[in-house]
């Protein structure tokens, strides 16, 4: 009983050949949820071709949901669809959609709603950034990160809400943001965008309550995924030191939280931000570009 439920690889183990959970892991990971929890549930997950989104797509399918995933790279989506089909026998719908294009978002939400009869949960997980000191951001780089994480998330939210309103159907939005409580050095662009999404979500959680639409956010800390390819080794080797558990989370930690929020157990949760970070918010700092010498003199992480 004292064994950890989910195996956490040693971040310092040089023999680790890949980052994040494999498709075999995602097909077999134990879950606390019963296997028919999401029977009849319809879920759209952006960025579902890799990392946390892929783990969510696996788990939702294993729990009986009808799932669609979107992203910019068709091969990643197809591979995920095939792996989930093989593991669960369920068909995942794929949309090669850039969330930065509002017309494409509108078409995707219309199509998936028509095909399934209506979406129950939208998970806005697509996003990302590159590590850089804010003073050096180019205009194009700043715009790319804001357009992806703030505008792209908003097009998805607004389109889903409009469809739910016109269909007279209830809905739920879960936005995957980040742990921005104490800022995020070397990622100020994403920090600005995610803070925007958090307060946008809190605002429309009230505005949209009369339409029976709930909106919540999840703020992951350091979660080991393929996305870590964006960061230099000198930064990666410290990531687990940013929380008092001195561990990296994994995609299953976040996927299970999403399923809880999508389940009837969470029906009264609205306008909230749930942090999954092993205590990082209280203690550590992530340096996605590597800790500058100035700060490397003891203190937190
Ligand atoms: C921190 C720990 C916690 C968080 C972890 C995670 O989130 S893990 C998940 C991590 N997963 C992800 O982050 C996945 C998703 N992330 C992405 O797709 C990109 O990071 C994106 C959000 C910038 C979108 O970009 P896009 O589709 O528009 O592609 P584009 O390539 O055309 O870039 C546009 C401009 O941005 C600039 N610029 C870009 N890279 C760098 C750099 N390394 N350096 C400096 N600048 C950079 C540059 O100006 C470039 O224009 P240029 O000079 O080329 O003409
Ligand atoms: N891993 C971590 O420690 C943390 C991650 N996060 C956030 O969690 C989310 C998932 O990250 P993670 O799984 O780790 O990383 P990944 O890089 O694996 O996932 C990001 C996904 O988003 C998709 N995506 C990116 N831009 C777009 C776009 N414009 N339109 C559609 N899809 C897009 C990517 O696919 P494609 O490139 O094919 O479009 C990819 O599948 C991201 O928003 C990330 O920033 C937040 C805090 C910590």
Complex ipTM = 0.98
**Is 49 near ligand 2, meaning CB less than 6 Å away?**
yes
**Is 187 near ligand 1, meaning CB less than 6 Å away?**
yes
**Is 180 near ligand 2, meaning CB less than 6 Å away?**
no
Residues forming a β-bridge with 276: 220
* Ligand positioned closest to the Cα atom of 183: 1
**For the whole model, what pTM was predicted?**
0.96
CA 170 to the chain's CA centroid: 22
pLDDT at 26 over 50: yes
**Is 72 near ligand 2, meaning CB less than 6 Å away?**
yes
Determine the distance separating the centroid of ligand 2 and the alpha carbon of 299, expressed in angstroms. Answer: 30
Which residue has a Cα nearest atom 46 of ligand 1?
141
What is the arithmetic mean of pLDDT over 241-270? 96
CB neighbour list of residue 24: distance below 8 Å, 6 or more residues apart:
none
- Split at pLDDT 50, 70, 90, the class of 112 is very high
Determine the distance separating the centroid of ligand 2 and the alpha carbon of 127, expressed in angstroms. Answer: 4
Q: Which one, of 130, 168, 174, 175, lies nearest residue 150 by Cα?
A: 175
Of the two residues 113 and 13, the one the predictor is more confident about is 113
Residues forming a β-bridge with 218: 176, 274
pLDDT of residue 272: 98
**Is 200 near ligand 2, meaning CB less than 6 Å away?**
no
Determine the distance separating the centroid of ligand 2 and the alpha carbon of 36, expressed in angstroms. Answer: 28
- Split at pLDDT 50, 70, 90, the class of 98 is very high
Which of 1-10, 229-238, 255-264 is predicted most confidently? 255-264
**Is 145 near ligand 1, meaning CB less than 6 Å away?**
yes
Which residue has a Cα nearest atom 40 of ligand 2?
47
Q: Compute the Cα dihedral for 161, 162, 165, 169 and give only its sign.
A: negative
**Is 249 near ligand 2, meaning CB less than 6 Å away?**
no
Say if residues 57 and 48 touch (Cβ distance below 8 Å): yes
**Is 288 near ligand 1, meaning CB less than 6 Å away?**
yes
Q: Which one, of 109, 111, 89, lies nearest residue 101 by Cα?
A: 109
pLDDT of residue 297: 67
Say if residues 94 and 70 touch (Cβ distance below 8 Å): yes
pLDDT of residue 283: 87
pLDDT at 8 over 80: no
**Is 128 near ligand 1, meaning CB less than 6 Å away?**
yes
- Split at pLDDT 50, 70, 90, the class of 35 is very high
191 DSSP 8-state letter: H
- Structural domains present in the chain: 34-295 (3.40.50.720)
* Ligand positioned closest to the Cα atom of 131: 1
* Residue % of the chain over a pLDDT of 90: 88
What is the arithmetic mean of pLDDT over 79-87? 98
Which residue has a Cα nearest atom 17 of ligand 2?
227
């Amino acid at each position: 009983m004292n064994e950890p439920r989910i195996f956490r690889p040693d971040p310092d183990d040089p023999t680790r050949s890949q980052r994040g959970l494999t498709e075999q892991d995602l097909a077999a990971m134990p879950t606390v949820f019963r296997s028919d929890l999401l029977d009849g549930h319809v879920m759209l997950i952006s960025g579902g071709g890799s990392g946390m989104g892929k783990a969510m797509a696996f788990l939702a399918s294993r729990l009986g949901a009808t799932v669609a995933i979107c992203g910019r790279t068709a091969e990643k989506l197809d591979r995920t669809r095939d792996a989930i089909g093989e593991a669960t026998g369920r068909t995942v719908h794929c949309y090669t959609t850039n969330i930065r294009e509002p017309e494409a978002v509108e078409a995707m939400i219309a199509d998936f709603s028509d095909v399934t009869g209506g979406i129950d949960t939208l998970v806005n997980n697509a996003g990302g950034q590159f590590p850089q000191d804010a003073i050096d951001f180019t205009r194009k780089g700043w715009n790319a990160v804001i357009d992806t994480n703030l505008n792209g998330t908003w097009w998805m939210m607004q389109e889903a809400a409009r469809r739910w309103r016109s269909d007279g159907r209830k809905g739920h939005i879960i936005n995957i943001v980040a742990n921005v409580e104490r800022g995020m050095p070397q990622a100020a662009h994403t920090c600005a965008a995610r803070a925007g999404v958090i307060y946008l979500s809190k605002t429309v959680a009230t505005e949209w309550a009369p339409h029976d639409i709930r909106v919540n956010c999840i703020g992951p800390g350091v979660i080991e995924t393929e996305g870590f390819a964006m960061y230099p080794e000198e930064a990666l080797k410290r990531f687990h030191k940013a929380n008092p558990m001195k561990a990296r989370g994994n995609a299953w930690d976040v996927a299970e939280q999403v399923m809880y929020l999508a389940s009837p157990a969470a029906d009264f949760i609205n306008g909230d931000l749930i942090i999954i970070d092993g205590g990082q918010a209280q203690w550590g700092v992530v340096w996605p570009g590597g800790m500058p010498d100035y700060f490397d003199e003891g203190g937190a992480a």
